[in-house]
């Protein structure tokens, strides 16, 4: 009972659940039905109101008129003979005449509007420009004028003239029913002339495909154009136009050969009775010759003569027509001389030929007119015997042959036109896919590279590069007997596209930011629309602002002697790390390597050119003054500025005041710091520590680098000649960055930056920077505070903080000034820096700058000792742990202890201590807190 009671509520819940599901489905279906109903109602409203996407717009232009007239001239005459009765002929003649006039005027107008220098254009590089091709050429002028000339007989009956020998009936009969081979050839040639009528139609459709209106070359003034638009060049319209033009002409010539000349090689029939009417007339003529002239009327010979004629007439009177009806092909026959009571003219029944006419005295054209048959439908066939003077002739109605030939030619004309258009369409599509599309990609890449040579690879381009690398690896191991074609692996255009992409990438990597102007000026088009043919390196320099950084490999001479040619591998391993980190952390794509000097690298973080930076500063000043309610003094005009010395103007701009410059500078410094960390983390670099040539294979060697940075202006440009140029930066700030790198060795630090660089940093970054001295750099009279970032890789577990490329890129993209407080690499490599140390050094530096050398010496030694004690107590270095507390004895005479104390102590403190002791702890006379930095 308990079980049943327990199951009851569960069952009820199941029933209620099913009911709720049914109700939910019903509501969903109802909602769906309402949505469908609303959708159908909306679409019906759009349809009835003619709104998009159901709007149909028809636009009829003169081009449409020309196409329509070309269709009339090409097909209507054939359509008339194949499908229409004779009563429609006059209307057809009028329509054909009007269309003929329109096309004739169009050709005359096309010839007239051609520019005066049209022949010169055809010989120039603009021959296949869309704006040149849109004009009619001699090929079409000749063929279309010939075609229009032979259209004239089609409408001459309007004016009371009939040129029977050049009309379609005559051509059809010649091509299918003449006995003479010359007439057969004439008929085939007439059909060939008919096919010329579609040339104009193909031309109009081809020009419709050519986007000549988008080309900037406008020759309507008859004086020639001024150049190409860059967009037209990027589309590759010229090669596309050339392919379309050449292919269309070749297709039309092939059309003539197939449809016109090939039938001449065959004597077979083309839908007519061929030579049958001549053969049966030979039989009648034989009967005529076999009957004597003087045979009596009641003789057996005359009886046989009459019976034979009767039988012959019975066989020739009716034939099966093309519409399965009986067709009377024989109109009348004539036998001379008359005998046996039979008249010379043998007539058909009266209902066909009324006896009121004297048929023997009428011409074929008169008979056609009387019988209501199209002109040229009747043919007279005769035979004459010279010896006896006997003559036999017959008049045949070949309308059915004409109708069938017209139908065949109509279908042939229509089929040839459609096939030609289809073939051109397929060739156009294939050319676009296999040739034009790759060319457009190449041209776009070149145009984009010319506009901005610093543009980087996209994902597709990188995948192409990887594909090339993989294919090159395969080809490298291919058998020697393989042909070059078998190893191509892709279309040649695709290979060229990839090659162009790689070449532009190599130019970017070889010349970097400083070479951008050279690349742009040499790849860009001139005013006449042509590219520069001769390479011109003499591009004027440009004033720019940037952060300059030098990264040098320490003790490079030793490395070169020890590694010999393998030193290149070490340099490239180092460069891979440095370049990658500088590019990754640079704002946007500003971080670039300008020079690989072997032992050092010049890195540039380009802020902008002189005008750009001045505009940014002006905008920032305007914003500031607008917020403060004050006005900016604009009394200084541009002319005044132009008369100032450029150095004064350049130096007057304080980079630290530019909006957003702090984050820019932070990222530049992070690029060097992350390079320093990466060098001591990457396996490819760390493997050199075990190289026996450098450290006897026991890890006694490590790759050490020094980094120096400064910020300011420089002249960006090319140095050299047409034989060899280098894109570089020339400035005292570049030299100062080099001085900072060199001074790292004096102060025994890894990173030194100038005062200008420090002023640009964020507050968070400034907190980890240490002011270590104030100097005059060699070759400079400017007082300069120098700063270091206290980092050491010895004892740091940098491998624990290794990140994938994706993670590292994400970290750089998500940069925040808080990174200076949270970055694991930075915290690990600054474990030797304590607040006590910083306070002691700060006090020692203050006394040093103020000339209190005695007090300074005390605090600087204290700072050095604090540093040593921190490293010893930290216990991260095994070789330090091996000596232990002995390192804390500053008076020890042990050479190893002295050496290690210098190594793990504070380099800047030791440098300043040595300088102070040089003067016996007394500041030299005239001391102003600055000393000369003599070494480069």
**741-755 confidence digits (pLDDT tens):** 999 999 999 999 999
What is the arithmetic mean of pLDDT over 361-374? 81
Comparison of pLDDT for 147 and 493, the residue scoring more: 147
Tokens representing 367 are: 């008979």
Judge whether 172 and 402 are in contact, CB under 8 Å. yes
Q: Work out the pLDDT band at 228, boundaries 50, 70, 90.
A: very low
**Between the CA of residue 300 and those of 44, 291, 304, 305, what are the distances in Å?**
89, 10, 6, 8
Q: How far is CA 329 from the centre of its chain?
A: 66
What is the arithmetic mean of pLDDT over 337-351? 68
Q: Is residue 113 pLDDT above 60, yes or no?
A: yes
Q: How far is CA 667 from the centre of its chain?
A: 34
The C-alpha atoms of residue 74 and residue 923 are separated, in whole angstroms, by 108
Which residues, including other chains, have CB under 8 Å from residue 833's CB and lie 6 or more apart?
790, 870
Comparison of pLDDT for 211 and 777, the residue scoring more: 777
Q: Which of 234-248, 413-427, 726-740 has the lowest mean pLDDT?
A: 234-248
The b/e string for 838-859 (b: 16+ C-beta within 10 A; e otherwise) is eebbebbbebbbebbbebbbbb
What is the arithmetic mean of pLDDT over 775-784? 82
**Residue 344: its pLDDT value, please?**
67
**577-605 confidence digits (pLDDT tens):** 999 999 999 988 788 888 888 889 999 99
The b/e string for 523-541 (b: 16+ C-beta within 10 A; e otherwise) is bebeeebeeeeeeebebeb
**Residue 476: its pLDDT value, please?**
38
Tokens representing 277 are: 């009417």
The C-alpha atoms of residue 555 and residue 700 are separated, in whole angstroms, by 14
Comparison of pLDDT for 871 and 721, the residue scoring more: 871
Q: Which of 153-162, 485-494, 608-617 has the lowest mean pLDDT?
A: 485-494
What is the arithmetic mean of pLDDT over 705-712? 94
**Residue 857: its pLDDT value, please?**
94
Q: Is residue 886 pLDDT above 90, yes or no?
A: no
List, as one string, the DSSP characters of 93-135: HHHHHHHHHHHHHHHHHHHHHS-TTHHHHHHSTTTT-HHHHTS
Q: Is residue 480 pLDDT above 50, yes or no?
A: no
Q: Is residue 244 pLDDT above 60, yes or no?
A: yes
Cβ atoms < 10 Å from Cβ of 454: 18
Average pLDDT of the chain?
Answer: 79
Comparison of pLDDT for 724 and 90, the residue scoring more: 90
**Residue 275: its pLDDT value, please?**
65
Q: Is residue 235 pLDDT above 80, yes or no?
A: no
What is the arithmetic mean of pLDDT over 267-289? 70
The C-alpha atoms of residue 567 and residue 299 are separated, in whole angstroms, by 128
What is the arithmetic mean of pLDDT over 773-779? 86
**788-810 confidence digits (pLDDT tens):** 999 998 888 887 878 888 899 99
Tokens representing 398 are: 């070949």
Most confident option among 224-228, 620-624, 630-634, 720-724: 720-724
**Between the CA of residue 212 and those of 205, 525, 742, what are the distances in Å?**
13, 20, 62
The C-alpha atoms of residue 446 and residue 520 are separated, in whole angstroms, by 10
Question: Residue 710 pairs with which residues in a beta bridge?
Answer: 548
**671-692 confidence digits (pLDDT tens):** 999 999 999 888 888 888 888 8
Q: Is residue 211 pLDDT above 60, yes or no?
A: no
Using the Cα atoms of residue 166, residue 169, residue 174 and residue 178 in order, give the sign of their dihedral.
Answer: negative
Comparison of pLDDT for 480 and 33, the residue scoring more: 33
**Residue 654: its pLDDT value, please?**
80
**621-651 confidence digits (pLDDT tens):** 565 445 545 544 444 444 444 444 555 555 6
Q: Work out the pLDDT band at 236, boundaries 50, 70, 90.
A: low
Q: Work out the pLDDT band at 906, boundaries 50, 70, 90.
A: very high
Most confident option among 28-32, 793-797, 856-860: 856-860
**816-856 confidence digits (pLDDT tens):** 999 999 999 999 999 899 999 999 999 999 999 999 999 99
Q: What pairing do the DSSP bridges indicate for beta strands 931-933 and 769-777?
A: parallel
**Residue 461: its pLDDT value, please?**
46
**Residue 608: its pLDDT value, please?**
85
**Residue 1: its pLDDT value, please?**
44
Q: Work out the pLDDT band at 891, boundaries 50, 70, 90.
A: confident
pTM of whole model > 0.85? Answer: no
What is the arithmetic mean of pLDDT over 62-80? 90
Q: Work out the pLDDT band at 867, boundaries 50, 70, 90.
A: very high
């Amino acid at each position: 009972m308990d079980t049943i009671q327990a199951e009851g509520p569960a069952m009820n819940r199941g029933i209620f659940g099913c009911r709720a599901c049914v109700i939910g489905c019903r509501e969903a279906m109802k909602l769906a039905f309402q949505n469908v109903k609303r959708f159908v109602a909306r679409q019906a409203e759009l349809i009835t109101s003619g709104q998009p996407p159901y709007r149909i717009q028809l636009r009829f232009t003169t081009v449409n008129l020309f196409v329509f007239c070309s269709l009339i001239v090409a097909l209507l005459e054939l359509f008339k003979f194949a499908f229409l009765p004779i009563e429609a002929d006059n209307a057809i003649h009028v329509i054909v005449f009007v269309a003929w006039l329109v096309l004739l005027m169009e050709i005359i107008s096309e010839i007239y509007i051609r520019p005066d220098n049209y022949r010169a254009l055809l010989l120039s590089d603009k021959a296949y420009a869309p704006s040149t091709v849109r004009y009619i050429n001699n090929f079409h002028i000749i063929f279309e004028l010939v075609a229009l000339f032979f259209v004239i007989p089609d409408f001459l009956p309007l004016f009371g003239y009939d040129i029977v020998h050049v009309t379609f009936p005559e051509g059809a009969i010649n091509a299918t029913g003449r006995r003479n081979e010359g007439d057969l050839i004439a008929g085939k040639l007439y059909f060939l002339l008919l096919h010329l009528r579609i040339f104009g139609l193909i031309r109009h459709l081809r020009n419709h495909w050519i986007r000549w209106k988008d080309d900037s070359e406008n020759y309507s003034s008859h004086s020639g154009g001024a150049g190409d638009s860059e967009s037209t060049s990027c589309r590759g319209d010229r090669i596309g136009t050339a392919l379309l033009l050449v292919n269309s002409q070749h297709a039309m010539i092939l059309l003539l050969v197939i449809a016109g000349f090939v039938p001449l090689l065959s004597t077979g029939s083309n839908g007519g009775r061929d030579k049958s009417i001549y053969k049966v007339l030979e039989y009648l003529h034989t009967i005529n010759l076999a009957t004597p002239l003087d045979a009596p009327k009641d003789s057996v010979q005359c009886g046989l003569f009459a019976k034979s004629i009767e039988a012959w007439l019975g066989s020739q009177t009716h034939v099966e027509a093309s519409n399965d009806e009986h067709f009377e092909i024989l109109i009348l026959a004539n036998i001379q001389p008359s005998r046996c009571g039979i008249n010379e003219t043998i007539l058909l029944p009266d209902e066909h030929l009324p006896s009121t006419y004297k048929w023997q005295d009428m011409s074929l054209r008169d008979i056609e007119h009387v019988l209501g048959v199209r002109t040229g439908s009747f043919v007279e066939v005769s035979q004459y015997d010279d010896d006896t003077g006997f003559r036999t002739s017959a008049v045949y109605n070949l309308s059915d042959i004409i109708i069938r030939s017209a139908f065949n030619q109509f279908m042939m004309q229509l089929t040839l036109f459609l096939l030609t258009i289809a073939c051109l369409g397929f060739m156009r599509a294939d050319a676009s896919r296999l040739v034009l599309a790759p060319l457009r990609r190449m041209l776009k890449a070149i145009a984009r590279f010319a506009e901005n040579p610093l543009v980087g690879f996209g994902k597709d381009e990188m995948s192409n590069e990887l594909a090339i690398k993989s294919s090159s690896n395969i080809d490298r191991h291919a058998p020697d007997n393989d042909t070059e074609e078998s190893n191509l692996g892709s279309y040649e255009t695709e290979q060229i596209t990839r090659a162009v992409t790689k070449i532009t990438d190599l130019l970017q990597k070889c010349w970097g930011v400083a070479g951008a102007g050279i690349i742009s000026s040499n790849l860009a088009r001139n005013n006449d629309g042509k590219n520069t043919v001769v390479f011109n390196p003499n591009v004027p320099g440009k004033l720019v602002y940037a952060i300059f950084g030098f990264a040098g490999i320490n003790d490079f001479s030793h490395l070169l002697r020890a590694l010999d040619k393998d030193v290149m591998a070490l340099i490239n391993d180092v460069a891979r790390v440095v370049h990658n980190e500088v590019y990754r952390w640079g704002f946007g794509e500003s971080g670039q390597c300008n020079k690989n000097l072997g032992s050092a690298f010049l890195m540039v973080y380009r802020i902008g050119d002189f005008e750009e930076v001045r505009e940014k500063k002006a905008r920032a000043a305007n914003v500031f003054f607008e917020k403060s309610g004050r006005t900016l003094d604009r009394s200084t005009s541009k002319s005044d500025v132009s008369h100032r010395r450029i150095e004064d103007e350049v130096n007057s701009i304080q980079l630290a005041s530019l909006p957003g410059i702090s984050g820019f500078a932070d990222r530049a410094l992070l690029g060097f710091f992350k390079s320093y960390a990466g060098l001591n983390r990457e396996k490819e670099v760390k493997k050199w520590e075990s190289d026996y040539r450098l450290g006897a294979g026991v890890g006694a060697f490590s790759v050490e680098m020094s980094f120096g940075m400064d910020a300011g202006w420089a002249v960006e440009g090319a140095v050299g000649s047409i034989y060899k140029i280098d894109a570089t930066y020339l400035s005292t700030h570049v030299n100062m960055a080099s001085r900072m790198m060199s001074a790292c060795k004096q102060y025994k630090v890894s990173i030194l930056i100038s005062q200008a660089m420090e002023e640009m940093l964020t507050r968070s970054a400034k907190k980890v920077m240490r002011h270590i001295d104030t100097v005059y750099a060699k070759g400079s009279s400017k007082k300069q505070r120098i700063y270091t970032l206290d980092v050491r890789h010895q004892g740091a577990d940098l491998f624990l903080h290794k990140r994938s490329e994706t993670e590292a890129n994400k970290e750089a993209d998500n940069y925040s000034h808080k990174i200076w407080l949270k970055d694991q690499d930075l915290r690990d490599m600054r474990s030797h820096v304590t607040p006590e140390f910083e306070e002691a050094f700060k006090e020692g530096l203050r006394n040093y700058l103020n000339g209190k050398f005695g007090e300074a010496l005390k605090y600087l030694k204290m700072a050095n000792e604090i540093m040593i004690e921190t490293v010893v107590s930290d216990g991260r270095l095994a070789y330090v742990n091996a000596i232990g507390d002995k390192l804390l004895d500053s008076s020890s005479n042990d050479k190893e202890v002295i050496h290690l104390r210098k190594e793990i102590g504070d380099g800047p403190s030791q440098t300043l201590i040595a300088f102070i002791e040089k003067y016996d702890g007394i500041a030299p006379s005239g001391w102003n807190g600055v000393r000369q930095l003599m070494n480069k």
